[in-house]
Structure 1
Amino acid sequence: MHLPTIFRTVGFLLMLFSLTMLLPAMVSLIYQDGAIYHFLNACLITFGIGAGIYLPLRHQKKDLRTRDGFLITALFWIVLGLFGALPLYLSDSPSLSVTDAVFESISGLTTTGATVITGLDELPKSILFYRQMLQWLGGIGIIVIAVAILPMLGIGGMQLYRAETPGPVKDNKLTPRITQTAKTLFLIYLYLTAACAISYWLAGMTLFDAVGHSFSTVAIGGFSTHDASMGYYANNPVILFIACVFMIIAGINFALHFGAFRGYSFSQYRQDPECWFYLCFLFGASIVVSLLLYFHHTYDFADSFLYGVFQVVSIATTTGFATTDFSAWPSLLPFLLLTFAFLGGCAGSTGGGIKMIRVLLIAKQGFRELRQLIHPNAVIPLKLGNRVMENKVIVAVWSFFSVYIMVFLMLMMALMLTGIDFITAYSAVAASINNLGPGLGTVSAHFGDLNHAAKWLLCLAMLLGRLEVFTLLVILTPAFWRR
């Protein structure tokens, strides 16, 4: 393991991240909200420490191996979450403790969207912009962006790309060179963000809100510039429709977007089994939830359909926007919606959760086992579209699912040990590990009332979810550190 090269890379990436703090500083200057010095101080501290790590090791240039990629990925997300909290901690509005500032920072960067802050409508514009920007950076993955420039440092980036990109199959690159792959992902992400912002603005949002919400929509983050979230625009169905469209798009594998943009054809989407499963699930779940809302007389038919579809798309893609307090909906609906978040978006998207391709493979494997019981001597291949899946992929999917559920249960019980009730603990961990945001019980509106120990546990859950469990857990194993 090349520790000097690893720390050199982390130092450089930390310097790179510090420069992003200049953007909210400019927003503070425009709106004269008094927070500019907090961002400048945070920028200088972050850049200085990053430079202090990087400069003594700047001549260390060795190719990264797979283990190095895992360690850099885990280290940088942890370090980034800590230093990303600086502007929030230094700011007078909101006045946050260290725990709350770190929680808010990690929630933003992991695109979870759980917040400890209330009174968003009165916060300085620069703080609001910073929260939204954190989600935008986290959505594409700061490391995936950074691998576009790592070759200039003499460091190969493919190991970082494999460690960062979510999903069970990580060997397919969009282009032959990893640098071009990172640039392609970034451009697609940027185009979608711009299209979303323009759509929101034309539909009636202010320019500030349009940009801010486009950041969190395309990142599938869920932070808002208003306490009411998207409920602030509940009387504008066009805005809710635009949000649904871009949440669905952001939840699809970005490799499919690349193929569609490059070939000017939608055949990529039609031929992808995971995409079809994802879209069919959203359609079916929306119908079920809308009908339940209507038959329970929660809303009239039009509002049942509007709020039902929006909330299903928001929760199932793990965005976490809300038009109303869905935890107060009747019957099994709150728990049903929270369960949808476990499925999440497609692999290679900005969504959280287990990922649709894994759920699809688990379902197919289940049906294959049933057929095998009927025909014990038959050789029944498991196919995804026209592709026969190797047994090692199925084993990896089941392993991931098992570890994911075990980690979820352990974190939930740990949270209950801090004195939190079952419903709050269950939903808080589910919302955090699936990078969703809103929960039930005490955390239905915000996470500010939780104790400090619970917040640190949920920070761990958010990181585990963002890094798909194994990337973070693998560095804790003794085998990882053996030569």
Structure 2
Amino acid sequence: MLFSFTLIPPVIIDFIYQENAADAFFTSYLSLLAVGFVLWLPVKNSKKDLRLRDGFIVVVLFWFILSVSGTLPLLLYEQLDISITDAFFESVSGLTTTGATVLTGLDDLPHSILFYRQELQWLGGMGIIVLAVAVLPMLGIGGMQLYKAETPGPIKDNKLTPRITETAKALWYIYLTLTVTCALSYWAAGMNLFDAVTHSFSTVAIGGFSTHDASLGYFDSVAIKVVAIVFMFLGGVNFALHFVAFRNWNVKAYINDTEFKVYFRVLILVSIIVVAFLHFSGATQNHSDSILLGVFHVVSMATTTGFSTTEFHLWPTVLPVLLIFTSFIGGCAGSTGGGMKVIRVILLLKQGVRELQRLIHPNAVILVKIGKKPVADSIIDAVWGFFAIYVAVFVIMMLLLMATGLDQVTSFSAVAATLNNLGPGLGDVASNYSGINDFSKWVLSFGMLLGRLEIFTLLVLLTPAFWRK
């Protein structure tokens, strides 16, 4: 019922631009409101505490049911002429802030449809922040509890507590502040008000949807690229750190955070490599172009936003694959970014180094530390478990895509782009996903949900043990 009210803004947008798409949104609004009311009515007086088992189900259904609901306006707007598969793919891509699209001719679509796609990403981003910082740690599987930063979130408990509401409220204020600031910055940089608002939605949410086929390349503006770089970077940072910094008006929260420092250094290192390759290969006209294009696309891909200003998949040598690989690291835990999360990669590398040291000193007691604090072996085991499942899921999805006839480059990059919630890939999915078969789209849609729910949340529901009393 609450989600149905998000269909009102597109109706207002359509009245402003007079493009005759309002009926699709208003009909969807009434339908979802009615269905929600019918489902709510029989249980409106039920008062029970949610247990952890319920939490898993609620989290998964939140993304799945809303993704299904999000398809309605796209299906009801007849001029779009979209299949159920494509509508679900677009909807789940928006809500999971993946940014992979099956739509073409964006410049000719009604403003209401364009606004709706961006709105889906912004709403998904809000959900992700609460999921990552408040809910998943309580379920015992989130990236946030791998690293005990100072967070406003609730303590792990046996039931979901009302304090989640306080956490969500604080985080949403920060999210809203960043969005408004980003929109005003885009507007000041030269975008019209509609584009500024809609692109702020997908920038802060690390989504990557655009209102133009050429993405941010449509604007051909240095200032707009710089604004995008700044807010993509901020969107990839742990929102708990933003909370602490905002609360104390002090940047020490960032400076003292190990994950943030590694995140920043990875972006700097990869940017230097990409800029150097672009410059010395002659792929750009001058050095300033190399710096701007290189840094922009590194931040866009590493944070899993997926904006582009040029056809980066045509760049020389190793660059396109390097950019795809940076998305595997992704953003920080507790951010709107996708990927495995920086903190997990740090722990994987530290554990790898520890195993090498153990070969040399078998009897030594060697601790894995984050900052100056030792990390429990149970957490290291959980990270390796996550990585093992991640690799297994990746391989299975890639083989399924290749079995449908897609080539290796397309299959690999499509799985990477959806499982990491990145968006653009290589090969046949470099520009959009409209050309691949329906079965592959369903597999990739599942991959987007898996990536957004940090894999375990969704897979645990598929195990028989979960349903035994």
Question: Alpha-carbon deviation of 1:43?
Answer: 0.8
User: Does structure 1 residue 263 correspond to structure 2 residue 239?
Assistant: no
| Coordinate RMSD, CA, aligned | 1.8
Q: Alignment partner for residue 272 of structure 2, among 284, 287, 291?
A: 287
Question: Alpha-carbon deviation of 1:221?
Answer: 0.2
SS of 1:223 mapped into structure 2: coil
Matched with 1:298 is 283
Question: Alpha-carbon deviation of 1:84?
Answer: 0.3
Q: Alignment partner for residue 237 of structure 2, among 223, 234, 252?
A: 252
Matched with 2:123 is 137
Matched with 2:175 is 189
Work out whether residues 86 and 102 of structure 2, in 8 Å CA contact, stay in contact via their aligned partners in 1: yes
Whole-angstrom CA distance in 1 between matches of 2:38 and 2:441: 30
Q: Which deviations, in whole Å up to 9, do the C-alpha atoms of 1:332-386 show, x marking residues without a partner?
A: 1111110111100000000000000000111111112222222222111111002
Matched with 2:158 is none
Matched with 1:167 is 143
Residues 159 and 238 of structure 1: CA distance in aligned 2, closer, same or farther (over 3 Å):
closer
Name the count of aligned residue pairs: 458
Question: Alpha-carbon deviation of 1:389?
Answer: 0.4
Whole-angstrom CA distance in 1 between matches of 2:37 and 2:373: 48
Whole-angstrom CA distance in 2 between matches of 1:161 and 1:270: 24
Matched with 1:440 is 426
Whole-angstrom CA distance in 2 between matches of 1:371 and 1:94: 59
Matched with 1:341 is 327
Work out whether residues 158 and 178 of structure 1, in 8 Å CA contact, stay in contact via their aligned partners in 2: yes
Question: Alpha-carbon deviation of 1:184?
Answer: 0.5
Whole-angstrom CA distance in 1 between matches of 2:79 and 2:388: 42
Matched with 1:125 is 111
Matched with 1:210 is 196
Work out whether residues 168 and 397 of structure 1, in 8 Å CA contact, stay in contact via their aligned partners in 2: no
Residues 142 and 270 of structure 1: CA distance in aligned 2, closer, same or farther (over 3 Å):
closer
Matching residue's letter, 1:404: Y
Work out whether residues 134 and 167 of structure 2, in 8 Å CA contact, stay in contact via their aligned partners in 1: no
Question: Alpha-carbon deviation of 1:163?
Answer: 5.1
Residues 164 and 416 of structure 1: CA distance in aligned 2, closer, same or farther (over 3 Å):
farther
Work out whether residues 129 and 334 of structure 2, in 8 Å CA contact, stay in contact via their aligned partners in 1: no
Matched with 2:160 is none
Q: Which deviations, in whole Å up to 9, do the C-alpha atoms of 1:189-223 show, x marking residues without a partner?
A: 00000000000000000000000000000000000
SS of 1:26 mapped into structure 2: helix
Query: Greater CA deviation, 405-414 or 361-370?
Result: 361-370
Question: Alpha-carbon deviation of 1:144?
Answer: 3.1
Work out whether residues 141 and 164 of structure 1, in 8 Å CA contact, stay in contact via their aligned partners in 2: no
Whole-angstrom CA distance in 2 between matches of 1:158 and 1:64: 14
SS of 2:78 mapped into structure 1: coil
User: Does structure 1 residue 453 correspond to structure 2 residue 439?
Assistant: yes
Whole-angstrom CA distance in 2 between matches of 1:307 and 1:249: 19
User: Does structure 1 residue 324 correspond to structure 2 residue 302?
Assistant: no
Work out whether residues 93 and 124 of structure 1, in 8 Å CA contact, stay in contact via their aligned partners in 2: no
Matched with 1:472 is 458
Matching residue's letter, 1:90: L
Q: Alignment partner for residue 242 of structure 1, among 227, 232, 247?
A: 227
Work out whether residues 144 and 161 of structure 1, in 8 Å CA contact, stay in contact via their aligned partners in 2: no
Whole-angstrom CA distance in 1 between matches of 2:140 and 2:69: 20
SS of 1:144 mapped into structure 2: helix
Query: Greater CA deviation, 43-52 or 130-139?
Result: 43-52
Matched with 1:365 is 351
Work out whether residues 28 and 72 of structure 2, in 8 Å CA contact, stay in contact via their aligned partners in 1: yes
User: Does structure 1 residue 45 correspond to structure 2 residue 31?
Assistant: yes
Residues 112 and 71 of structure 1: CA distance in aligned 2, closer, same or farther (over 3 Å):
same
Work out whether residues 93 and 100 of structure 2, in 8 Å CA contact, stay in contact via their aligned partners in 1: yes
Work out whether residues 168 and 393 of structure 1, in 8 Å CA contact, stay in contact via their aligned partners in 2: no
Whole-angstrom CA distance in 1 between matches of 2:170 and 2:141: 14
Work out whether residues 137 and 143 of structure 2, in 8 Å CA contact, stay in contact via their aligned partners in 1: no
Matched with 2:387 is 401
Whole-angstrom CA distance in 2 between matches of 1:160 and 1:168: 8
Question: Alpha-carbon deviation of 1:49?
Answer: 1.1
Residues 433 and 164 of structure 1: CA distance in aligned 2, closer, same or farther (over 3 Å):
farther
Residues 143 and 198 of structure 1: CA distance in aligned 2, closer, same or farther (over 3 Å):
closer
Question: Alpha-carbon deviation of 1:142?
Answer: 6.9
Q: Which deviations, in whole Å up to 9, do the C-alpha atoms of 1:129-158 show, x marking residues without a partner?
A: 00000000111217939x9xxxxxxxxx96
User: Does structure 1 residue 417 correspond to structure 2 residue 417?
Assistant: no
Matching residue's letter, 1:229: S
Q: Which runs of 5+ in 1 are unaligned?
A: 1-14, 148-156
Work out whether residues 209 and 225 of structure 1, in 8 Å CA contact, stay in contact via their aligned partners in 2: yes
Work out whether residues 108 and 221 of structure 1, in 8 Å CA contact, stay in contact via their aligned partners in 2: yes
Residues 118 and 164 of structure 1: CA distance in aligned 2, closer, same or farther (over 3 Å):
farther
Residues 209 and 166 of structure 1: CA distance in aligned 2, closer, same or farther (over 3 Å):
farther
Matching residue's letter, 2:173: L
Work out whether residues 427 and 439 of structure 1, in 8 Å CA contact, stay in contact via their aligned partners in 2: yes
User: Does structure 1 residue 198 correspond to structure 2 residue 184?
Assistant: yes
Identical counterparts, % of pairs: 55
Work out whether residues 259 and 342 of structure 2, in 8 Å CA contact, stay in contact via their aligned partners in 1: yes
Matched with 1:12 is none
Matching residue's letter, 1:293: L
Normalized against structure 1, the TM-score is what?
0.92
Residues 181 and 120 of structure 1: CA distance in aligned 2, closer, same or farther (over 3 Å):
same
Matching residue's letter, 2:363: N
Residues 32 and 165 of structure 1: CA distance in aligned 2, closer, same or farther (over 3 Å):
farther
Whole-angstrom CA distance in 1 between matches of 2:25 and 2:309: 32
Question: Alpha-carbon deviation of 1:165?
Answer: 9.0
